[in-house]
Amino acid sequence: MKVPKQMKRLCPKCKKHTPHKVSQAKRKGLNATHHQTWGSRKRQSLRNRGVGIGMGNRGRFSRKAITKFKMTGKKLTKKTDFRYECGECKYVSVQATGMRLKKVEIQ
Ligand SMILES: [Zn+2]
């Protein structure tokens, strides 16, 4: 998808339409994600040591634990994460919901 470098959007701070600069934030990998998230390395190492996380059945599920850190059913595309910077007040707003795109061109 081709995305224009600059587009007119509503700035929530200025409360009017102003030209915004479009940039894409880098999607964070598995290591950068939070240690409490499902499938994080820390969580997995705790589970391997027998230290349960959470309540009830200590974070165990009816299926086998993930031993390899390969996402099963890996998706071919990444979701976009656009940042819109207001040209007047420099306020950066984040894209509400990303789209799954194979290729993104900011021009
Ligand atoms: Zn603004």
pTM higher than 0.75 for the full model?
no
Q: Are the C-beta atoms of 85 and 91 separated by less than 8 Å?
A: yes
Question: What's residue 11's pLDDT?
Answer: 94
Q: Ligand 1 centre and the CA of 107: distance in Å?
A: 22
Domain around 42: 31-68
Q: Would residue 14 count as lying in a domain?
A: yes
Instruction: Tell me, in angstroms, the distance from the centre of ligand 1 to residue 16's CA.
Output: 8
Distance 6 CA to ligand 1 centre (A): 14
Q: What per-residue confidence (pLDDT) applies to 27?
A: 65
> Do 15 and 36 fall into the same domain?
no
Q: Tell me whether residue 73 is in a domain.
A: no
Q: CATH number of the domain at 106, please.
A: 3.10.450.80
* CA pair distance 94, 55, nearest whole angstrom: 34
Residue 43 confidence (pLDDT) = 74
43 within 8 A of 58, measured Cβ to Cβ: no
Dihedral sign, Cα of residue 37, residue 42, residue 48, residue 49: negative
**Residue type for 40, please?**
S
**pLDDT digits 0-9 by tens, 55-106:** 666 656 666 666 666 666 677 788 888 999 999 999 999 998 888 888 889 9
Considering the chain, what is the average pLDDT of its residues? 80
Tokens of 56: 């009830």
* The Cα angle at residue 63 between residues 60 and 65, in degrees rounded to 5: 60
16 inside domain: yes
Cα 28 to averaged position of ligand 1 atoms, centre (Å): 27
Number of domains in the chain: 2
My answer on whether 107 and 82 are in the same domain is: yes
